[in-house]
Chains A and B, each alone.
Chain A
């Protein structure tokens, strides 16, 4: 294999792996805020116990996100040096903005979130968690902005000299608010929140099934299921289609790859399932006539440009097609399950008795996370052969001095390292979940009423931290 393909493989691996964790940081973070917010309102100790529990889980998820995220930042320079040279002016700025506005917020307050339960009163602890979760969302804003600039570049000029040629920024806000930015951002937010709600629902359903911490499981289900329904429905029916329309408008070659549309046609069909033969240039499967035209434009007879009509046609068609159909299929599939869980819940809490429904709920988090991964595959595979749409070919973005052998070694290293990480992560997560929320007595070092709960308390009460010794 040549160096370019290996570098792409490595990026696919590391990015797909990394992107399991940030959506959970956002979605689980939101659920955690709801739980600790409920404690603030009701002062019911069960919510405080759950806050301690979910914060622990959050800590592991977050650590994985950070560890695999640094890899992404280094990887641009290491494997994609010419890309970095070309986009540094713009893409680099957006990443730097992420560092300043998002990472410090997350990294700074994470310690307070993880270890603040016994140092801060509930309101201040909530505030610290809020900062971390806001930081996670800021992070997504800048990353989606940076990626959207690669999809629909705007606010730039190409400067050819001095060599090498580069894109320079003419209008900062135009580089952030590119045409695809808002639809994609909302799509990512709702997908992440869906995954977070599914995660909480999944663990809670498991507790009910195993009759372990069942009271807390029921309480969490009552919180998570309504959010799960709202987020899943909104994404399937509003933000997903909106994102697809944005692709139709801004990236016609990607749209053609998503549906395997080879010839330009009016009333283009959309496939429910299918297979693309890239050699022969054909797509076969179960199609609904006119559906693609309708989804893309609102008119079932509208003309959709085919792959054959482009000067630079998409190069990864079947993978894009399959990723897209998996995303859409599974994204819609979780909607009836979410609704079913909701109906069974509100109908005299029947959900607690139907074990099969609970098992379905347990599985939804894996589906929700896989849907997100498939979504990123659509975005990235569908853009090929471009690394920056219509501006820079992926083949022109690699590192000239990095050999295929070096990438093979590092790819092997990553596969090994990430496998170990995954095993450890699942082990730890499983241990936390099996162990479940601990009783408050063993968590609290002192009564909650004694903890400083306003900024004034924190910065005045010099007695809380000082003078105490380890032993």
Chain B
């Protein structure tokens, strides 16, 4: 029971990270094409300026929870995907740096160099996270000793790359909706004009992922062949997608953003349901799978951590929403902005 609760919480935390850091990666991906002059670029940066740091905390929490709750999955995954995680770290750090440095000097060359770096790191980070997620969905060479023996090139399967591209498209779309909500004038108008293409691209890629998963008989599709009812998860994701479109067309950007966030959550839930109870599926032998039971800490730790989460998370949600509330409304570039 505890293991099941923690699996759900872990899925929620990962979704929280992808929803929150997802929109600011999306803003980064759109940074070069969408914003056309210095003021517009500063507007984009400042739309995420006060919140991106808090958003990244969800990743740190996700890592901490994996370490505490499912240490055997944490250890196997992080050491097995060594090169990939190393790249993630480098890109994460560089991206944080670009945000800080970009507006420090007025020189246009300085700023355009950092603009390019910010856009590139955002794009590459989204791609890397997507590829890693795709590689996990596709199963990993997990041996009897719980070790994953692989390398960066083996991870880059066509399927993982496809999931990576889909993630990029998803964040770009999500970021565009965030920008429609947080900006006005030309930026908003442009984001509005681009939304059909971004959405279309994402839907097409995501459909390809579904088809590829079924054709390749990916491990997480097995549950969907056995039972019919879990189809409600992808169906609900599709409905959330429709709602996103509907609200965006009526210029109701906050509900559109909520719908887009719900869609991300539902897609992760759909994949997680297919994976359950596995955290890592072995491509060598199903007996070697790391599950929410054999990869977990003991009951005492799970209980203590649950108490910590129950005490801490309500405060987190309360003040996080408070902070978002203070920064609500359209972005204004001020003297102390990025």
Measured CB to CB, the residues of A under 8 A from B are 52, 56, 59-60, 62-63, 66-71, 73-74, 76-79, 81-82, 84-85, 87-93, 95-101, 103-112, 114-120, 131, 159, 162, 164, 166, 168-170, 172, 399-402, 406, 409-410, 413, 417, 421, 424, 428, 431, 442-445, 458-459, 465-471
Contacts and interface: CB of A to CB of B under 8 A. Distances in A.
Contact of A88 (B54, B74, B93, B185): B74
A84 B71 contact: yes
Nearest to A442: B335
A402 B65 contact: no
A70 B329 contact: no
B327 A111 contact: yes
Contacts of B146: 85, 164
A95 B312 CA distance: 14
Given A66-B56, A118-B335, A401-B149, A77 B312 contact: no
B97 interface: yes
Nearest to A115: B50
Contacts, number: 271
A459 B329 CA distance: 13
B72 A70 contact: no
Interface residues of B, number: 82
Nearest to B187: A470
Contacts of A431: 104
A96 B305 contact: yes
A177 B325 CA distance: 38
B101 A424 contact: yes
B96 A67 contact: yes
B285 interface: no
B327 A465 contact: yes
Interface in B305-328: 305, 308-309, 312-313, 315-316, 319-320, 323, 325-328
B185 to A, nearest CB: 6
Interface of B: 39, 43, 49-51, 53-57, 59-61, 63-65, 67-72, 74-80, 82-83, 85-86, 88-90, 92-94, 96-97, 100-101, 104, 145-149, 183-185, 187, 294, 297-298, 300-301, 304-305, 308-309, 312-313, 315-316, 319-320, 323, 325-337
A70 B62 CA distance: 11
The main secondary structure of chain A at its interface with chain B is helix
A118 B53 contact: no
Contact of A118 (B51, B56, B101, B334): B334
A74 B184 contact: no
Nearest to A69: B60
Contacts of B50: 110-112, 114-115
Contacts of B76: 81
B308 to A, nearest CB: 5
A71 B93 contact: yes
A462 to B, nearest CB: 9
Given A101-B312, A431-B104, A112 B323 contact: yes
Contacts of A421: 93, 97
A92 B69 contact: yes
B323 A108 contact: yes
Contacts of B325: 458-459
A92 B90 contact: no
Given A88-B72, A470-B330, A70 B59 contact: yes
Contacts of B69: 92, 96
B79 A410 contact: no
Given A111-B54, A170-B300, A443 B64 contact: no
Contact of A92 (B60, B71, B97): B71
17 contacts: A60-B100, A66-B96, A67-B93, A74-B89, A85-B72, A88-B297, A89-B301, A101-B308, A108-B320, A131-B319, A170-B300, A406-B83, A413-B90, A442-B335, A458-B325, A470-B183, A470-B333
